[in-house]
Amino acid sequence: MPARQRISENLRRVRKERGLSQEELAELADFHRTYVSQLERQVTNISIDGLERLAIALDMDVMELLKLPTE
């Protein structure tokens, strides 16, 4: 599974588990709302720094966003 897909699936799952909207997560990570949507739809790439900002906003280790999603 490509890294972009892993990030997308993990990001969406964790965001929903935490009860956050895309807009709320974007605000916590200091991103534009549409950027989070683009990441979840695999439209755009994210930098390592950006990935770290999302992980901090979700209170998790950045590596968790890169793991193979569990079914």
Give 21-71 pLDDT, tens digit per residue. Answer: 999 999 999 999 899 999 999 999 999 999 999 999 999 999 999 999 875
Number of Cβ atoms within 10 Å of the Cβ of 52: 15
Average pLDDT over residues 6-28: 97
Looking at residue 71, what is its pLDDT?
57
Q: Where are the alpha helices (DSSP H) in 1-71?
A: 3-17, 22-29, 33-40, 48-57
Residue 12 has pLDDT above 60, yes or no: yes
